[in-house]
Amino acid sequence: MDRMRDQSLPPTRNRNRTRRAAIALVLVALMLGTAVAADAHDTWLISATNFGRVGTPFRLGLTSGETFPNDDFAIVENRVARAVVREAGVTRLLPRPTAAALRLEYMWTPRAAGVASIGIELQPRTLTLEPRLIDQYLGEIDASDAVRAAWKSFGDKKKWTESYTKHAMTFVRIAPAKANAAWIADKSWTRPLGLALELVPERDPTDLHAGDTLVVRVLRRGVGVPGFSVGAIREGRTKAIFFHADSAGRARVIVDADGRWLLNGTSLRRSTTGATVWESDFVTATVHVAPRR
């Protein structure tokens, strides 16, 4: 029936319909490509400021993007496996988020002064990567020589399949409810939050200035990861600078300018289940850097 109707149309309308169908196919292909890009790129927690006050609601956004800090890909709530905040050593769940245009927004009301650590883990997903994108992907995550050699040993017939989990962190300095109240001596931010892969700061991550060095411990399931590659990119820049962890899993990250920064890294390894070729954990942490003193 459709074919008969098409044939009854004037030739110019037939060509227009064919052209529209071709455009639709291209758009579908682009959408599928975007989905792959969304999977392969970073997910982060971000706020307009890293200063809050006890009793005053604080807004956080969870989003994914190709260029930090742009919101490019929406995250649906059912992908969130865990969302926690730790204040003065006490960890509790973040309130349920609301969906904005290209992000999930969390409104959290701080209860204690100090430096709060916030962490979110997403449900695992599976990624199939086209051969033409593999070298680009390995470059973006600063993959190790061992990973590259392992992939090369598979030859050209192996399909890239990867089960991955994303983890996002940020830190907020919380002032007392009253301006003249005493601050709590809170050092809980120096301890792991309990994510499967995380970056644990060894100096106050809410008191950074341009030119400072932030040492972070890279922990996978609580154990340091020697040689791990930590990327650092300031908002407005397009390429990350990579800093490699030492034998104890500590990376010395230099933040050379003020603004918001994204720290990221990927633990990519051969799958232990056999369901995919690879399995991985992605981690990000956002920090705000003030102008040089």
Average pLDDT of the residues in 93-107 = 95
Q: Tell me, what's the pLDDT at 1?
A: 38
pLDDT in tens, 7-27: 323 333 344 444 444 433 333
Q: Is the pLDDT of residue 108 over 50?
A: yes
Q: Tell me, what's the pLDDT at 94?
A: 97
Cα separation, 262 vs 45, in Å, equals 9
pLDDT in tens, 56-97: 999 999 999 989 999 998 899 999 999 999 999 999 999 999
Q: Tell me, what's the pLDDT at 39?
A: 45
Q: Is the pLDDT of residue 280 over 50?
A: yes
Q: Tell me, what's the pLDDT at 194?
A: 96
- Structure tokens, 84: 């926690």
% residues pLDDT > 70 (the chain):
85
Q: In what helix (H) or strand (E) does residue 45 lie, and over which residues does it extend?
A: strand 42-46
Cα separation, 117 vs 66, in Å, equals 25
| Residue-range domain boundaries for the chain | 1-40, 41-290
Centre a 10 Å sphere on the Cβ of residue 166 and count the other Cβ atoms it contains: 26
Cα separation, 62 vs 107, in Å, equals 11
- pTM, two decimals, is 0.84
Q: Tell me, what's the pLDDT at 9?
A: 32
Backbone φ and ψ of 275, nearest 5°: -70, -30
Sign of the CA dihedral with 29 first, then 33, 34, and 39 last: positive
Evaluate whether 227 touches 265 at the Cβ level (below 8 Å).
Answer: no
pLDDT in tens, 150-197: 999 988 778 999 999 999 999 999 999 887 666 667 889 999 999 999
Work out the burial of residue 22: count CB atoms within 10 Å of its CB; fewer than 13 is exposed, 13-18 middle, 19 or more buried. exposed
Residue 242 pLDDT level (bands cut at 50, 70, 90): very high
Centre a 10 Å sphere on the Cβ of residue 19 and count the other Cβ atoms it contains: 10
Cα separation, 121 vs 289, in Å, equals 24
CATH node for 41-290:
2.60.40.10
